[in-house]
């Protein structure tokens, strides 16, 4: 694989103050509630579900060409493992039949930039873009989304990485397209979310909205609340683990007491206690 070309350098005013987060799920509590959210490239729907659970949007738009079932494998397993013999689109629609039925979710089956183009201008609060990662495709997605996102909205790019070191044979164009877009359109980076294999996410906003006091205050409040929820979840996990260990230990002690070896050694233990109680 040829080495990627140098990435366009960003000026300080487009990255200063960006907040580092542990993963992409940590971004979700910082996004607006009751919003219009569009996910471009939905996969099997697991992150769609996470977005809806945490962000509670009033409308969710899913855009995908839904052709993954045509591939023999997905993430190292046969596509039939993920879709149960259904088409990609059929599986996704069945998974979200309730949301589609209530009108909360809209599914658009199209190439990503064309699907984005079907939306009304300035109508979307958050775009999560995870489609084709080639430079040209990401560039088209960003250009289309910039017209459809609200002035104070968010553009989130998945897989902010130069190459797919887990198997793809071509360089990714996400970073190139993102930096070019930021420089040309005056968008800055608000969050950088890590990922265990470094397939990171970046959250972009128009520069005018990056450091407004009201925006910063809301973000810091959300971060504190998220941290407290994290601490509580960790405490519950530790307590549950300790309780399980205690129960297991009690069972082991009971099993030992009822065993023949425990009964046989009972006189020896009694003699040891008597010796220990004797005055010295």
Do 115 and 222 lie in one domain? The reply is no
Q: Are residues 153 and 174 in the same domain?
A: yes
Pair (67, 189) in one structural domain: yes
Alpha carbon distance 209, 126 (integer Å):
14
Residue 5 forms part of a structural domain: no
Last residue of one domain, picked from the residues 209, 232, 256? 209
Q: 6 pLDDT exceeds 80? A: yes
Same domain, 173 and 243: no
Print the domain residue range for 165. 12-209
Same domain, 150 and 94: yes
Q: Are residue 139 and residue 219 in the same domain, yes or no? A: no
What is this structure's pTM?
Answer: 0.76
Per the CB < 8 A criterion, the answer to whether 181 and 187 are in contact is yes
Per-residue model confidence (pLDDT) at position 70 = 73
Do 164 and 278 lie in a common domain? Answer: no
Q: Are residues 171 and 224 in the same domain?
A: no
CB count in 10 Å sphere of residue 99: 19
Q: How far is CA 18 from the centre of its chain?
A: 18
- 228 shares a domain with 128: no
How many CA within 13 A on the CB side of residue 272? 5
Q: What is the pLDDT of residues 104-125, one digit of tens each?
A: 999 999 999 999 999 999 999 9
Residue 77 lies in a domain: yes
SS (H, E, C) 25-84: HHCHHHCCCCCEEEEECCCCCHHHHHHHHHHCCCEEEEEECCCHHHCCEECCEEHHHHHC
Residue 68's pLDDT band (boundaries 50, 70, 90)? confident
pLDDT tens profile 158-185: 999 988 776 666 688 999 999 999 999 9
Out of 155, 188, 209, a domain closes at 209
Res 79: pLDDT = 80
- Of 80-89, 146-155, 172-181, 219-228, the range with the lowest mean pLDDT is 219-228
Q: What is the CATH number of the domain that holds 64?
A: 3.40.50.150
Other Cβ atoms less than 10 A from the Cβ of 227: the count is 12
For residue 34, tell me if it sits in a domain. Answer: yes
- 105 contacts: CB under 8 Å, gap ≥ 6: 59, 60, 61, 62, 96, 99
Pair (78, 160) in one structural domain: yes
238 band by pLDDT with thresholds 50, 70 and 90: very low
Q: How far apart are the first and last CA of the chain?
A: 80
Question: β-strand 105-109 against 59-64: which pairing, if any?
Answer: parallel
Residues 92 and 158 in one domain: yes
Q: At what angle do helices 174-185 and 135-148 cross, to 10 degrees?
A: 40
In a domain, 280, yes or no: yes
Is residue 39 one of the residues assigned to a domain? Answer: yes
In a domain, 1, yes or no: no
CA 46, 52, 54 angle in degrees (round to 5)? Answer: 100
Q: Is 100 exposed, middle or buried (0-12, 13-18, 19+ CB in 10 A)?
A: middle
How far is it, in rounded angstroms, from Cα 170 to Cα 178? 18
The answer, yes or no, to whether residue 234 has pLDDT greater than 50, is no
Average pLDDT score over the chain: 84
pLDDT tens readout for residues 209-231: 886 656 666 666 666 666 665 55
Last residue of a domain, one of 153, 180, 209: 209
Q: Would 95 be classed as within a structural domain?
A: yes
For 25-65, how does the pLDDT look when each residue is reduced to its tens digit (9 = 90+)? 999 999 999 999 999 999 899 999 999 999 999 999 999 99
pLDDT number for residue 73 = 75
One domain, residues 108 and 26: yes
Per-residue three-class SS string for 103-148:
CCEEEEECCHHHHHHCCCCCCEEEEEECCCCCHHHHHHHHHHHHHH
Alpha-carbon span 161 to 164, nearest angstrom? 7
Work out how many domains the chain is built from and give that number.
2
- Residue 66 clears pLDDT 80, i.e. is over it: yes
Say if 226 falls within a structural domain: yes
| Inter-residue contact 191 to 157 (CB < 8 Å) | no
């Amino acid at each position: 694989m040829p080495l990627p070309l140098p990435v366009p350098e960003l000026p300080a005013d487009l990255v200063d103050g960006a907040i580092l987060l542990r993963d992409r799920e940590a971004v979700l509590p910082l996004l607006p509630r009751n919003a219009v959210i569009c996910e471009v490239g939905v996969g099997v729907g697991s992150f769609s579900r996470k977005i809806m659970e945490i962000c509670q949007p009033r409308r969710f738009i899913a855009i995908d060409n839904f052709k993954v079932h045509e591939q023999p494998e997905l993430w190292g397993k046969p596509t039939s493992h993920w879709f149960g013999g259904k088409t990609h689109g059929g599986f996704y629609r069945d998974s979200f039949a309730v949301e589609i039925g209530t009108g909360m979710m809209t599914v658009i089956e199209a190439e990503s930039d064309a699907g984005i183009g079907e939306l009304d201008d300035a109508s979307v609060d958050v775009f999560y873009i995870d489609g084709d990662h080639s430079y040209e495709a990401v560039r088209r997605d960003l250009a289309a989304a910039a017209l459809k996102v609200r002035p104070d909205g968010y553009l989130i790019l998945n897989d902010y990485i130069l190459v797919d070191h887990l198997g793809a044979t071509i360089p990714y164009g996400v970073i190139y397209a993102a930096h070019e877009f930021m420089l040309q359109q005056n968008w800055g980076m608000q969050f950088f979310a890590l990922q265990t294999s470094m397939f990171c996410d970046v959250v972009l906003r128009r520069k005018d909205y990056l450091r407004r006091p009201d925006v910063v205050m809301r973000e810091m409040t959300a971060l504190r609340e998220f941290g407290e929820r994290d601490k509580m979840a960790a405490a519950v996990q530790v307590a549950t683990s300790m309780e399980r260990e205690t129960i297991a230990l009690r069972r082991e002690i009971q099993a030992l007491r009822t065993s023949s070896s425990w009964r046989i050694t009972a006189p020896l233990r009694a003699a040891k206690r008597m010796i220990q109680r004797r005055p010295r």
